[in-house]
C-alpha cells in the first residue's frame, strides 16, 4: 500500500470508523515518506551531456593512446559505482541501482574493448564469463530486480556470442545462470523475475539444441525441467510465472504442428529416437507430478497434454486432427480450472486459447475445399458464437461468486 | 496456462520465512562487498590488458599468410574474418592414433619458410619441438577425409581506420602473430601484400 493512498484516503477511513486516528498514525509511520524523485529535466540534461562525451570518445577511439583508452574505461566503471554508492547512501534507491547497472554494462564494454585493443577477442570465453559472474554477484549484493533482469540478458548475450562467434557452448555459463539466479529466485520468489529467468534459460537451451545439431524437440526436455522447478516452488504465483514461458513454447509448437504437420517433409526433423526421448521426458514428468502431489495442485497435470509427442505419428489428416484434439483438451482444461478457481485473468487466457484453437482447426480443416467467401462468413459466425458462449459462462461463474 | 497474467501487478514477494531471512544485507557488509566487487572488476580489465600486452612483448612472433579476404567482409564494419594458409591442413600431417574429431583441441607444429610459417604436423597432445619450430594451439572446426579445418582464435581482426582504407577485395595479408609461452596468441601486426595482379607483373 502506498503512503500516498494512506494519506489521502486515511482521513476518510477514520471518519467512517474503519480505523482510529491512532491506527492511521501507526500505519503512516510504517511507510516513511519517500525521497522525492530527482527532477526529470536535470536527468535528461546530464544524459545528453554524457551522450555527447560518449560520441566524442567513440569517434576518436582508435587514435587515442592505449593507456588513455584503458584509463577512460576504468575511470568510467569506477565512476559509476562510486556515484551509485553516493546516491544509495542518500536514499535515492532507483537512481543508485540504475548507476550500478550502468557500471555493470560498462564492465562488459571494457572487457570487449580491451580485448579488441590487443586483438585478443575470440581466443577464449573467460572474459565474457566474468561479466556474467559480476552480474550475479551484484544481484545478490544489492537484492535488486533490475540487476537480476540485466544479468539474465547478459547471460543470454554471453551464450549467444559463445555459440555464434566462437562455436562453443559454455555449459558453465548456463549452469551459472541457472544456479546463481535460479537460487536467488528460489529464495526470493517473484512473478516477474520467474518469467524473465525462464525466458533467459529457454533462450540458452535453444542455443544448446542448435549448437548440438540434435532434433529440435529435445528442447522440451530442459524446458519442462524448468516447468517442473516451477511446480516445486511454494509460492504459487512465482512458480506459475516460471512455468509460463515453457508452456507458451509448447503451445506454439503444438499449434505449429496442427497448422503445418500435415506435410510429412520436415516431420522427420522432429523425431528423436523414440525410447530416449520418451524416457527423458518421462523422468521430467515424474518429477513434475511428484512436486504437484507434494504441493497439492495435481489438477494442473493437464498442462502436460501439450507434451504428447504427436509428431511420431505419420503426417497427414490424422496428425492434424489428433493435434487439434490435444489443443482443445488443453485449452478446455485451462478454462475449466479457471472457472473452478474463479480467476478472471485465467478465464480470459483460457478463452483466448480456446478461440485460437478453434480458428486453427477451422482453417486447417476447411480452407482446402470450401468456397472462400463462405469460409470467412462461417468462420466469423463461429467465432462470434463461441465468444458469446464463453462470455456467458464466465459471467455466470462470476455472478455466483459475487452473490455468495 | 500460467503466465504473468496470473500474477497481480505488484511483485509477489511472499512474506515467507526464507524470504525474510534473505532480506537486505546489513548496510556495512553490503558496502564492503560492493568495494571488493569494484576492485575485482577493475583488476580483471587490467589483467585482460596485461595479458594482451605481455603476449605481444614476451611471445614468439611467427609470420602467417592469409588466403584472399572475402570481399563481403569489407562491407561489414570494423572487423575481418581471416583465413590462414594454416587454417586448412592436409590429413597426412595428423599424428594422432585416433581419427581427428570436430571441436577437438590440437597442437600444430609450425616451421619457418621464406614466405612465412607453414604447418609441419598436427598432434592431439602437446609435443616437444626442436629450435626453429613453434607449437600453436588450435581447435578442429571440421574434419574431412583428406583434410581438416582449424580455428586458432585469431581469425577475427579489428581493422584500424588507416589499414581499412588500403584494403581491396581479394587482398592477401601477411599477419604477425605473437605466441606467448603460456599458449595465448594474438595478432601483432598486419601487412597488406600486393594484389595478385600486380604481383604477377613484378615477377
User: What is the structure's pLDDT at A182?
Assistant: 94
User: What is the structure's pLDDT at A243?
Assistant: 92
Question: H or E segment at B188?
Answer: strand B185-192
Q: What is the mean pLDDT of residues B192-196?
A: 73
Bridge partner list, B121: B109
Q: What is the mean pLDDT of residues B127-146?
A: 84
| pLDDT at residue B203 is higher than 70 | no
Mean pLDDT score of chain B: 77
Lowest mean pLDDT among A19-33, A178-192, B15-29, B45-59: B15-29
Its sign, for the CA torsion B88, B94, B99, B102, is negative
Q: How many Cβ pairs within 8 Å bridge chains A and B?
A: 172
Question: H or E segment at B146?
Answer: none
Q: What is the mean pLDDT of residues B130-134?
A: 82
DSSP SS3 for B21: helix
Nearest C-alpha in A relative to B138 = A123
What is the phi/psi pair of residue A64, to 5°? -75, 145
Measure the CA–CA gap between B117 and A12, rounded to whole angstroms.
87
Per-residue b or e along A128-159, where b marks 16 or more CB atoms closer than 10 Å to that residue's CB: bbbbbbbbbbbbbbbbbbebbbbbbbbbbebb
Question: A112 — contact with chain B (CB < 8 Å)?
Answer: no
- Chain A positions in Cβ-Cβ contact with residue B56 (cut-off 8 Å): 118
Identify the residue among A61, A106, A113, A120 best suited for mutation to test binding to B, counting B beta carbons within 10 A and taking the highest.
A120
What is the phi/psi pair of residue A304, to 5°? -70, -10
Cβ–Cβ of B16/A235 closer than 8 Å?
A: yes
User: What is the structure's pLDDT at A344?
Assistant: 77
User: What pTM value is reported for the model?
Assistant: 0.78
Nearest C-alpha in A relative to B4 = A241
| pLDDT at residue B97 is higher than 80 | yes
Q: What is the side-by-side order of every strand in the sheet holding B185-192?
A: B60-65, B173-179, B185-192
Burial label, A77 (beta-carbon count in 10 A; 0-12, 13-18, 19+):
buried
User: What is the structure's pLDDT at A123?
Assistant: 52
Nearest C-alpha in B relative to A245 = B3
Q: What is the mean pLDDT of residues B26-47?
A: 89
Does ipTM surpass 0.85 in this model?
Answer: no
Q: Which of A50-54, B18-22, B94-98, B162-166 has the highest mean pLDDT?
A: B94-98
User: What is the structure's pLDDT at A397?
Assistant: 72
Q: Which residue ranges of chain A lie beneath pLDDT 70? A: 1-3, 32-40, 42-43, 121-125, 262-267, 315, 368, 400-404
- Chain A positions in Cβ-Cβ contact with residue B1 (cut-off 8 Å): 244, 247-248, 251, 303, 330, 334, 349-350, 353
What is the phi/psi pair of residue A60, to 5°? -110, 15
Question: B26 — contact with chain A (CB < 8 Å)?
Answer: no
Measure the CA–CA gap between B90 and A3, rounded to whole angstroms.
75
Cβ–Cβ of A62/B8 closer than 8 Å?
A: no
B132: closest CA of chain A, how far (Å): 25
Q: Which residue has the cell 575511470?
A: A75
A11: closest CA of chain B, how far (Å): 25
User: What is the structure's pLDDT at A196?
Assistant: 93
Amino acid at each position: 500500500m502506498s503512503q500516498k493512498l494512506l494519506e489521502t484516503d486515511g482521513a476518510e477511513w477514520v471518519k467512517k470508523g474503519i480505523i482510529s486516528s491512532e491506527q492511521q498514525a501507526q500505519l503512516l509511520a510504517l511507510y516513511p515518506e519517500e525521497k522525492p524523485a530527482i527532477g526529470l529535466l536535470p536527468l535528461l540534461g546530464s544524459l545528453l551531456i554524457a551522450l555527447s562525451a560518449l560520441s566524442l570518445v567513440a569517434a576518436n577511439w582508435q587514435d587515442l593512446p592505449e593507456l588513455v583508452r584503458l584509463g577512460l574505461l576504468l575511470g568510467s566503471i569506477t565512476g559509476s559505482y562510486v556515484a551509485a554508492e553516493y546516491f544509495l547512501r542518500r536514499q535515492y534507491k532507483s537512481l543508485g541501482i540504475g548507476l550500478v547497472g550502468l557500471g555493470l554494462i560498462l564492465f562488459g564494454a571494457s572487457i570487449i574493448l580491451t580485448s579488441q585493443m590487443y586483438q585478443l577477442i575470440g581466443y577464449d570465453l573467460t572474459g565474457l564469463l566474468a561479466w556474467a559472474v559480476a552480474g550475479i554477484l551484484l544481484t545478490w549484493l544489492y537484492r535488486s530486480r533490475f540487476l537480476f533482469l540485466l544479468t539474465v540478458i547478459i547471460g543470454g548475450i554471453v551464450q549467444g556470442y559463445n555459440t555464434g562467434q566462437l562455436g562453443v557452448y559454455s555449459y558453465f555459463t548456463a549452469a551459472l545462470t541457472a544456479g546463481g539466479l535460479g537460487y536467488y529466485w528460489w529464495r526470493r520468489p517473484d512473478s516477474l523475475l520467474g518469467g524473465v529467468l525462464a525466458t533467459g534459460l529457454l533462450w540458452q537451451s535453444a542455443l544448446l539444441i542448435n549448437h548440438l545439431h540434435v532434433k529440435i524437440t529435445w528442447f522440451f526436455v530442459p524446458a519442462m525441467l524448468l516447468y517442473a522447478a516451477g511446480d516445486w516452488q511454494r509460492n504459487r504465483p512465482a512458480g506459475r510465472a516460471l512455468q509460463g514461458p515453457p508452456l507458451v513454447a509448447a503451445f506454439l509448437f503444438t499449434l505449429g504442428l496442427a497448422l503445418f504437420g500435415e506435410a510429412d517433409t520436415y516431420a522427420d526433423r522432429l523425431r528423436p529416437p523414440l525410447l530416449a526421448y520418451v524416457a527423458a521426458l518421462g523422468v521430467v514428468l515424474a518429477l513434475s507430478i511428484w512436486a504437484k502431489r507434494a504441493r497439492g495442485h495435481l489438477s494442473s497435470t493437464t498442462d502436460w497434454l501439450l507434451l504428447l509427442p504427436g509428431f511420431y505419428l505419420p503426417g497427414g489428416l490424422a496428425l492434424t486432427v489428433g493435434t487439434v484434439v490435444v489443443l482443445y483438451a488443453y485449452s478446455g482444461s485451462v478454462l475449466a480450472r479457471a472457472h473452478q478457481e474463479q480467476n478472471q485473468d485465467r478465464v480470459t487466457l483460457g478463452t483466448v486459447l480456446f478461440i485460437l484453437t478453434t480458428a486453427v482447426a477451422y482453417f486447417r480443416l476447411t480452407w482446402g475445399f470450401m468456397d472462400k467467401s463462405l469460409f470467412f462468413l462461417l468462420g466469423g459466425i463461429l467465432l462470434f458464437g463461441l465468444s458469446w458462449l464463453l462470455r456467458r459462462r464466465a459471467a455466470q461463474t462470476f455472478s455466483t461468486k459475487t452473490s455468495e | 496456462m500460467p503466465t504473468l497474467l496470473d500474477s497481480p501487478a505488484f511483485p509477489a514477494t511472499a512474506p515467507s520465512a526464507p524470504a525474510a531471512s534473505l532480506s537486505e544485507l546489513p548496510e556495512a557488509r553490503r558496502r564492503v562487498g560492493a568495494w571488493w566487487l569494484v576492485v575485482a572488476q577493475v583488476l580483471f580489465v587490467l589483467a585482460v590488458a596485461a595479458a594482451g600486452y605481455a603476449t605481444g612483448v614476451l611471445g614468439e612472433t611467427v609470420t602467417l599468410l592469409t588466403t584472399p579476404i572475402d570481399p563481403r567482409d569489407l562491407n561489414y564494419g570494423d572487423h575481418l574474418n581471416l583465413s590462414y594458409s594454416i587454417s586448412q591442413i592436409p590429413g597426412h600431417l595428423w599424428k594422432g592414433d585416433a581419427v581427428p574429431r570436430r571441436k577437438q583441441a590440437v597442437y600444430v607444429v609450425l616451421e619457418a619458410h621464406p614466405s612465412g610459417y607453414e604447418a609441419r604436423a598436427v598432434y592431439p597432445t602437446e609435443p616437444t619441438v626442436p629450435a626453429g619450430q613453434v607449437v600453436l594451439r588450435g581447435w578442429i572446426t571440421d574434419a574431412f577425409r583428406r583434410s581438416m579445418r582449424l580455428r586458432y582464435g585469431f581469425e577475427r581482426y579489428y581493422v584500424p581506420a588507416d589499414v581499412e582504407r588500403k584494403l581491396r577485395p581479394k587482398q592477401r595479408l601477411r599477419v604477425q602473430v605473437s605466441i606467448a609461452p603460456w599458449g595465448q596468441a594474438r595478432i601483432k601486426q598486419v601487412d597488406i601484400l600486393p594484389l595478385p595482379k600486380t604481383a604477377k607483373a613484378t615477377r
